[in-house]
Amino acid sequence: MNHHTQLLLFDIGGVFIQLSGVDQMLAWTQGHHTEKELWDLWLRSHAVRAFETGRISPEIFALQFVDEFSLPVDPSTFLAAFISWTTQPYPGFQEVMHTINTHYLTASLSNTNELHWQNLCKNLKMDQLFQHNFPSHHLGYMKPDRAAFSHVLETLNIPASATLFFDDTPVNIEAARSLGIEAHRVCGVKELTTTLKELDIL
């Protein structure tokens, strides 16, 4: 065990779940953006931010997103595809968390929305992997907002210095580190497992 660490805080998408929407978005935008550009646009999208902080309905989100990205599909077609973007977990995700939960306090901090969160909980029991869950649409904040991290630390009464955070997105890693959280970038369960072993967590 790493006796200094009290809380292990995890992103979900890109760490435990394979995100499959990129190929669909690349096809819809007909090569006008690279994959990196699409991710940057996603993080800056007004429609995404409003939906993933729980301020608008799925229907309004779909309408605004299709317009914002000039997609060649109607909102209902987009929404049907969007729901399926969080269905494929990385192998071994349950085993890793089962081992960790016997020794550490664990929590998820994920940018998500009511549709994806419902899917993750119902079909993959993702919420049961962690002792606490902080989905952005419940918080009203989303990463990389400092308020999202601060809310978790204050709610669980854990200092930043005793927290390890794992995420696949560089801007989220930087935000966590700015608060004094030790943060590690990992993509998928295989990288997560390797990093946890290096940190003497597994």
Instruction: Give pLDDT, residue 191.
Output: 98
Question: What residue ranges define each of the domains in the chain, with the CATH number in brackets?
Answer: 7-18+88-198 (3.40.50.1000), 21-86 (1.10.150)
Q: What mean pLDDT comes out for the span 160-167?
A: 98
Confidence band, pLDDT 50/70/90 cuts, at residue 32: confident
73-130 per-position pLDDT tens digit: 999 999 999 988 887 899 999 999 999 999 999 999 999 999 999 999 999 999 999 9
Distance CA(38)–CA(93), nearest Å, equals 27
Instruction: Give pLDDT, residue 2.
Output: 62
Q: What angle do CA 32, 35, 36 make, to 5 degrees?
A: 110
Distance CA(131)–CA(155), nearest Å, equals 13
Confidence band, pLDDT 50/70/90 cuts, at residue 47: very high
Query: How far is the first Cα of the chain from the last one, in angstroms, to the nearest whole number?
Result: 7
Q: Which of these ranges, 39-48, 58-67, 89-98, 161-170, has the smallest mean pLDDT?
A: 39-48
User: Does residue 31 carry a pLDDT above 80?
Assistant: no
Greatest Cα pair distance, the chain, in angstroms, is: 53
User: Does residue 3 carry a pLDDT above 80?
Assistant: no
Neighbour count for residue 128 (Cβ, 10 Å)? 11
Q: What mean pLDDT comes out for the span 190-199?
A: 97
